[in-house]
Structure 1
Amino acid sequence: MGFWIIVAALAIAIGAVLALTLLRGRVGDAPPAAYDLQVYRDQLKEVDRDLARGVIGADEAQRLRSEVSRRVLAADAQLRAGGEDGGQPRLAGRLAAGLIVAVIAGGGLLIYRQVGAPGYDDLPIAKRIAASDAARAERLSQDAAEARLGPVEESIPDGTSQDYLALIEQLRKTVKERPEDQQGLQFLVRSEAALGNMAAARRAQQQLIALKGDAASAADQAMLADLMINAAVGYVSAEAETALREALRLDPREPSARFYLGLYLLQVDRPDGAFRTWQALLEESTPDAPWVAPIRAQLEELAARAGVKYTLPPVGDLRGPTSEDMENAAGMSAEGRQDMIRGMVAGLAERLSTTGGTAEEWARLINAYGVLGDADKAKQVWAEAQVVFAANPAMLDTLRAAAANAGIAE
């Protein structure tokens, strides 16, 4: 009730100030014509000063005096006729003043009823945190989140060959017969995901992680969370949150887990935590990272919700080796350069295994392992890439050329 009293008092006070100004017919201590008269008198003095300095001639000065004197007479006549209120019509002024008060007070009330929240209780920070904790406790399970979508039919990408579908069906049977085959499960995860069978892919990933046990990596847990969230069409279930937390326990810098954790915090109404998570991830990411665009689209609004003043940094160029990196590499021993190259190749392999990539990037990885003389890893990447891009012959040609270049093509 106190809120309404304060709002009403403010609206009436503002309306009264405007109405009083309208009724007085002036905004200061004198009518408008009095100000005009003072200006014209000052102009006459200025004409005399210009004539004395020789800026204008006598004829020009006389013409200006005549013009300004005419305006002085008109302003004086207006001042005498209007009096103290400047000639403002009293009835019209009162009607306009009443209308202003009504519009400000009544119009403000109507607008608030449309866009505001009448009767909505205040939400101090303690209540907001409590509501967030309740939302966390009430998160749907993964099965419930998927079930609410109803039956999901297999979505076969256009151009997928029957031979490829037969291969996937055979892979499913093989994994069912040999449930402890980790490599088969890895292929099945990617194959089901490529067909859009996210629920089947996440079940296969869960089975794979169970087989690996303590050897399961942060990338394994992050992929599981990714598949769960996609299977639930963006909803972060209780199990998906557990997978995210486990991924970040194993590797606090795991990028996809950090992105999805920010999404989860948004869904449980913790914009403060989501902002901190996404801001840090954005600052550490290259502009071409897949999570950068969605983060940039929401981060300023998210900052406002979190009560933080924040402006997005400009989009930079793709990060690559700096001149300093090149100089350091030139000064390295052959063994040191080899270690640096292996580190870059390992980073590319990690990214492709967690977030995927283009056929050209997979081909680059195959070539890199070939240059390093690591034929076994090159063969492994080539085999996995054939499954990932089996539905796209053009991309397979690119990969096959890289395999041939690396000397591992069949």
Structure 2
Amino acid sequence: MFWIICAATTIIVGLAIMAPLLRRGQAAAEPAAAFDLRVYRDQLREVERDLERGVIAPEDAERLRTEIGRKVLDADRRMAQAATGGAGGRGLLAVALLAMLFAGAAALYLREGQPGRDDLPIARRIALAEAAYDSRPSQAEAEAEAPRPQAPEVPADYASLIQQLREAVAKNPDDPQGLALLATNEMRLGNMAAAREAQQRLIDLRGDDATAGELVRLSALMIEAAGGVITPDAEGVLARALRKDPAHPQARYLLGMLQLQNDRPDRAFPVWRRLLEEGPEDAPWIAPIRAAITDLAWLAGQPDYVPPAPLPGPDAQAMAAAEDMSPEDRQQMIAGMVSQLEARLAQQGGTPEEWARLISSLVVIGNADHAREIWTEAQTRFAAQPEALDIVRQAATQAGLTQ
């Protein structure tokens, strides 16, 4: 069916392209020569009429007949040339060009496309995604197949210190600070498996007291050691982190990545969309999300989604100037920026992320009472938008304005 549709479309497009070329060729072949020929014949008849009326002499009539006759022969010759090389030649050229274009398109599709692949309804695609999800390799299998990164050049003194750290941790394996330090330095050296092992020992040591951040770090190290694959083992650690802190941004970013790896953009999009809307713009996960969110929205069936614009912040000069300020002046500058944000929201409105930022900033500068007033106003403004209100409510909760 696919090839029948392609062939029909090709024929229709080819005829649509060729038709004006053929019409133009026919229109251009006739007027110049045919019109001249009619004019010359009229001139011959006019010469005969003038001769009969005695307007011109016989010798003048003979001279005019000869001159007009040469023009008639020339017009006949031009008409013959147009008939053999005009429309037909252009039509053949058009056909040849179209054939080359279609042949090139077919060759490109056969090389880059998948002509033998069956149609995949959404239910079938979901089933294949589930099958891929269930057939993921274990952590050990993924690490065994992962490419080995090239080890960086390490100064001798640093290598000596790392070796001393390894020996110290081996002598005191229950030292959480030593394990955390070893995991960090093994990661810097590119020894992801060793870093993962040290972090795993730290998690085992802490047990139920392990923080969400420590669990997320272990999951990230497992992913790195597995060559970027989120294995069932890494997913289990990630799930533990999200149970401890459902709002942990890095854990949610990795959760979206897990859905992408298993061909479920419909599940990844809402996770990454929320992270992008929450910010902050300088968070390390924002740049890759912003680069992919438009395509991800299209794949998730939401082609009309428009990502939020980056939230404005102080420029580099303002930040540099703030470093040289006294604490009082710096506080005054921050208060001025908060006032500008509040004035703009009052006059022009804004996104829920900007309202959340205003509430958080007011609490930071010690104006919690006014922050409560803004929170009350935001509840009215976003009452009909539950998702937007949740963003502002989260900021109010973190600021201690809600119970």
Equivalent residues of 1:228, 1:240 under 8 A apart = yes
User: TM-score, length-normalised on structure 2?
Assistant: 0.60
Offset, 1:243: 1.2
The residue that corresponds to 2:255 in the other structure is 261
The residue that corresponds to 1:170 in the other structure is 167
Offset, 1:314: 3.2
Secondary structure, counterpart of 1:258 in structure 2: helix
The residue that corresponds to 2:309 in the other structure is 314
The residue that corresponds to 1:193 in the other structure is 187
Answering whether residue 141 of structure 2 is matched by residue 144 of structure 1, we say yes
| Residues 57-96 of structure 1 aligned to structure 2 (within 5 Å) | 89-96=86-93
User: Do the aligned partners of residues 196 and 99 (structure 1) sit closer, same or farther apart at CA in structure 2, a change above 3 Å counting?
Assistant: closer
Q: CA RMSD in A?
A: 3.6
Distance 1:27 1:158 in 2: 81
Secondary structure, counterpart of 1:233 in structure 2: coil
User: Do the aligned partners of residues 12 and 101 (structure 1) sit closer, same or farther apart at CA in structure 2, a change above 3 Å counting?
Assistant: farther
Secondary structure, counterpart of 1:119 in structure 2: coil
Answering whether residue 197 of structure 2 is matched by residue 214 of structure 1, we say no
Offset, 1:96: 2.8
Answering whether residue 302 of structure 2 is matched by residue 303 of structure 1, we say no
Q: Which amino acid aligns with 2:169?
A: R
The residue that corresponds to 2:220 in the other structure is 226
Larger Rg: 2
Distance 2:178 2:95 in 1: 81
Distance 2:260 2:30 in 1: 57
User: Do the aligned partners of residues 175 and 144 (structure 1) sit closer, same or farther apart at CA in structure 2, a change above 3 Å counting?
Assistant: farther
Offset, 1:137: 1.1
Distance 2:286 2:198 in 1: 28
Equivalent residues of 1:199, 1:228 under 8 A apart = yes
Q: Which amino acid aligns with 1:225?
A: S
Identity %: 40
Q: Which amino acid aligns with 1:17?
A: A
The residue that corresponds to 1:126 in the other structure is 123
Distance 1:163 1:195 in 2: 13
Equivalent residues of 1:142, 1:240 under 8 A apart = yes
Equivalent residues of 2:256, 2:267 under 8 A apart = yes
| Residues 6-405 of structure 1 aligned to structure 2 (within 5 Å) | 6-25=5-24, 89-103=86-100, 105-149=102-146, 157-158=154-155, 160-161=157-158, 164-176=161-173, 179=174, 181-309=175-303, 310-318=305-313, 322-323=338-339, 329-331=365-367
Residues 339-384 of structure 1: per-residue CA shift (max 9 Å, x gap): xxxxxxxxxxxxxxxxxxxxxxxxxxxxxxxxxxxxxxxxxxxxxx
Segments of 5+ residues of structure 1 without an aligned counterpart are 35-77, 334-410
Equivalent residues of 2:25, 2:87 under 8 A apart = no
Residues 127-180 of structure 1: per-residue CA shift (max 9 Å, x gap): 11111111111111111111123777875644753552353133222334xx4x
Distance 1:86 1:241 in 2: 76
Offset, 1:186: 3.0
Equivalent residues of 1:26, 1:32 under 8 A apart = no
User: Do the aligned partners of residues 185 and 318 (structure 1) sit closer, same or farther apart at CA in structure 2, a change above 3 Å counting?
Assistant: farther
Distance 2:124 2:367 in 1: 60
Equivalent residues of 2:29, 2:86 under 8 A apart = no
User: TM-score, length-normalised on structure 1?
Assistant: 0.59
Equivalent residues of 2:146, 2:225 under 8 A apart = no
Segments of 5+ residues of structure 2 without an aligned counterpart are 33-74, 315-333, 340-357, 370-403
Equivalent residues of 1:155, 1:197 under 8 A apart = no
User: Do the aligned partners of residues 89 and 26 (structure 1) sit closer, same or farther apart at CA in structure 2, a change above 3 Å counting?
Assistant: closer
User: Do the aligned partners of residues 102 and 246 (structure 1) sit closer, same or farther apart at CA in structure 2, a change above 3 Å counting?
Assistant: same
Residues 230-254 of structure 1: per-residue CA shift (max 9 Å, x gap): 2223221121111112211221111
Q: Which amino acid aligns with 2:165?
A: I
Distance 1:196 1:100 in 2: 55
Residues 78-98 of structure 1: per-residue CA shift (max 9 Å, x gap): 9xx99xx99982321331343
Offset, 1:121: 0.8
User: Do the aligned partners of residues 19 and 169 (structure 1) sit closer, same or farther apart at CA in structure 2, a change above 3 Å counting?
Assistant: closer
Q: Which amino acid aligns with 1:165?
A: I
The residue that corresponds to 2:40 in the other structure is none
Secondary structure, counterpart of 1:226 in structure 2: helix
